Structure 1
Amino acid sequence: MVETHLIAIKTICLNYGIDNSFVEELNEFGLIHIEFIQNDKFIHQDQISDLEKMIRLRNELNLNLEGIDVVFNLLQKEKELKEELTILKNRLKLYE
């Protein structure tokens, strides 16, 4: 029984015209998480937008997996810094 929030990698690869090996390499790099259910591979629907970005980085900018990893690490760091800035701004408002 497959949960509705999981999407088969076969379906994703057909829709985006990519190889299964690319998705598996992304999993090995820790950029996405593959779930195994009854010998089939799935990813969570929340990861689709990140996967689309990774596909575009590879196809349009010709980035290899290491480059994609660097870009996503920088994006994660940017997100963390924005969250920290918001927290600090809210603290500062308490003293105004």
Structure 2
Amino acid sequence: MAQQELIVIETICTHYEIEVSFVDALSNLGLIEIRTIEQTRFIPEEKVADLEKMIRIHQDLQVNPEGIDVIFNLLRKVDSLQNELADTKSRLRRYKLENQ
């Protein structure tokens, strides 16, 4: 298994000028994965982009963590529906080609 890069939560909070409690709230809602190694808490590097989106939503739009949870759930549903629509269009094209 490849080693995963981890970033210390306090480093992220300092860089983005956010409170650790904000990251904790996101974690409690299941939006951010926090790993603890030897009493130091980390976020996987590949999850930082999602955290950055959440920070922008929070800071720019003044949305609380619960609101961010709702937004991300809606975005996942939109993505799922777009994938379903693309699949349906693809099947329809195949059907049209087979029946020409």
Same fold by TM-score, threshold 0.5 exceeded? yes
Q: Which position in structure 1 is the counterpart of 2:12? A: 12
Structure whose CA Rg is larger: 2
1:50 aligns with 2:50: yes
- Distance in 1 between residues matched to 2:65 and 2:8, nearest whole Å: 22
- Distance in 2 between residues matched to 1:31 and 1:13, nearest whole Å: 16
Q: Which position in structure 2 is the counterpart of 1:38? A: 38
1:70 aligns with 2:100: no
- Distance in 2 between residues matched to 1:46 and 1:85, nearest whole Å: 28
Cα RMSD for the two superposed structures: 1.2
- Distance in 2 between residues matched to 1:58 and 1:12, nearest whole Å: 15
- Distance in 2 between residues matched to 1:44 and 1:11, nearest whole Å: 13
Q: Which amino acid aligns with 2:23?
A: V
Tell me how far 1:4 sits from its aligned partner.
Answer: 4.8
Q: TM-score, normalised by structure 2?
A: 0.87
- Which structure 1 segments of 5+ residues have no match? none
Give aligned-pair identity as a percent: 48
- Distance in 2 between residues matched to 1:24 and 1:58, nearest whole Å: 14
Moved over 6 A (4+): none
Paired residue total: 94
